[in-house]
Homo-oligomer: A and B are copies of this chain.
Amino acid sequence: MPLLVMKFGGTSVANLDRIRRAAKRVGVEVAKGYDVIVIVSAMSGKTNELVGWVNETSPLYDAREYDAVVSSGEIVTAGLMALTLQEMDVPARSWQGWQVPLRTNSAHSQARIEEIGTEAINAKFGEGMRVAVVAGFQGISPEGRVTTLGRGGSDTTAVAFAAAFGAERCDIYTDVDGVYTTDPRICDKARKLDKIAYEEMLELASLGAKVLQTRSVELAMRYKVKLRVLSSFEEQSDEAGTLVCDEEEIMESNVVNGVAYSRDEAKLTCLSVADRPGIAATIFTCLSDAGVNVDMIVQNISEDGRTDMTFSCPTDQVKRAEVALNGCKDKGDLNFGELVADTGVAKVSVVGIGMRSQSGVAAKMFRVLSDEGVNIKVITTSEIKISVLIDRKYMELAVQALHDAFELDKAS
């Protein structure tokens, strides 16, 4: 029988009523003839409660015990979902990570999936079971201990199951009804996309569009798992939501498919750095050792043997970056004139696989911003993305103007 993976996040299983609603969606697919693997998160709020207890008990906790405690929420939802399906006369049973087994490495609290055993679940499908309900976010280490995959790990679990079982599709049910051209809260012309390429979704996910966890998109891309994002709160047709798929399956595409933003960015500049080999390595090793997540990096042209080095990082890491760089300066590893921080900036990006074959996107983007009087402070580009740092007060204006200019409100 064809197989489907369906994943329900915390808000979709927040209480018994919602679990029932989710189970009905599963029932619809079973009635169509699918065998289904359902991946569930913990009821919303439960994982935070458990994490809170662990932190209060032991601030520098043993991650193995953290995992044992925190993974218990998904076990509860899995059992309740199986019972709900049974009440609807759908043959179902629940599986904990170690029962599947979903084998991971030993990196507790952020373990990586190594292998999913398909034998036990397939045997049960062979005996007439129609739905395997699997507790998401958890696995078992080589030492036989419970591991968790880190925040959002249930998305990753779902994609990994879809790959391991050769599922026709992996449906991610969440509290939004798909992936949008931009954030509808900022731009009322934002349009839901019917399809989006893995690469684009990856850029959007890493830019903070919180629909899917980055790792799950990476995994889907690697194993060519068709991923559909859709709402668990609306009646669904077969065409609902957004399909994340290979670009070859998208016949026509706009040059730009999305405008993303990130509000909490800061820009730091080391003024008058000696322009000699190894200086960049010194700066960014120093920042990396201090745990600063550097995003964009720009080096200006040199003048009199000295240059300026600019980079961006999250606003709440500015202090840490300053301490680290001044520390390196004091130790003599590094010599710069002054360190200037600007915490009033935001990042705006346009994303689209069409950029690879079409030129002029950057020029158009800069023209649009210039026409609106928005000054660009830093620019970086990738194959399918152009990002700029601008004053935060212009962020919404910039998003709306770019959305209009690239006609994202119109389907291609």
Contact = CB atoms under 8 A, between A and B. Distances in A.
Interface of A: 16, 19, 50, 53-54, 56-58, 61-62, 64-66, 68-69, 72-73, 75-76, 78-80, 82-84, 86-87, 93-94, 96, 98-99, 144-146
Contacts of A144: 99
A311 B170 CA distance: 61
Contact of A79 (B68, B94, B98): B68
A50 B80 CA distance: 10
B58 A84 contact: yes
Contact of A72 (B16, B65, B66, B75): B75
B16 A87 contact: no
Contacts of A96: 68, 146
A56 B86 contact: no
A181 to B, nearest CB: 40
Which of A54, A57, A69, A146 gathers most chain B CB within 10 Å? Answer: A57
Given A57-B16, A93-B64, A72 B72 contact: yes
Which of A78, A83, A84 gathers most chain B CB within 10 Å? Answer: A83
Contacts of A54: 79-80, 83
Nearest to A78: B68
Given A65-B82, A83-B62, A93-B64, A76 B50 contact: yes
A358 B66 CA distance: 58
11 contacts: A16-B53, A16-B56, A53-B80, A65-B80, A65-B83, A65-B94, A68-B78, A72-B72, A72-B73, A75-B75, A96-B146
Contacts of A75: 68-69, 72, 75
Contacts of A98: 98
Copies per complex? 2
B72 A76 contact: yes
Closest 6 CB pairs between A and B? Answer: A69-B79, A68-B79, A58-B83, A72-B72, A65-B79, A57-B83
Contacts of A76: 50, 53, 69, 72
Contact of A87 (B57, B66, B84, B94): B57
Given A68-B75, A72-B72, A75-B69, A82 B62 contact: yes
A84 B62 CA distance: 10
Contacts of A19: 57
A76 B73 CA distance: 9
Given A99-B144, A145-B99, A58 B86 contact: yes
Nearest to A19: B57
Nearest to A55: B83
Nearest to A57: B83
Contacts of A61: 83
Nearest to A69: B79
A53 B16 CA distance: 8
A80 B68 CA distance: 9
A399 B51 CA distance: 50
A188 B396 CA distance: 75
Nearest to A60: B87
A371 B77 CA distance: 60
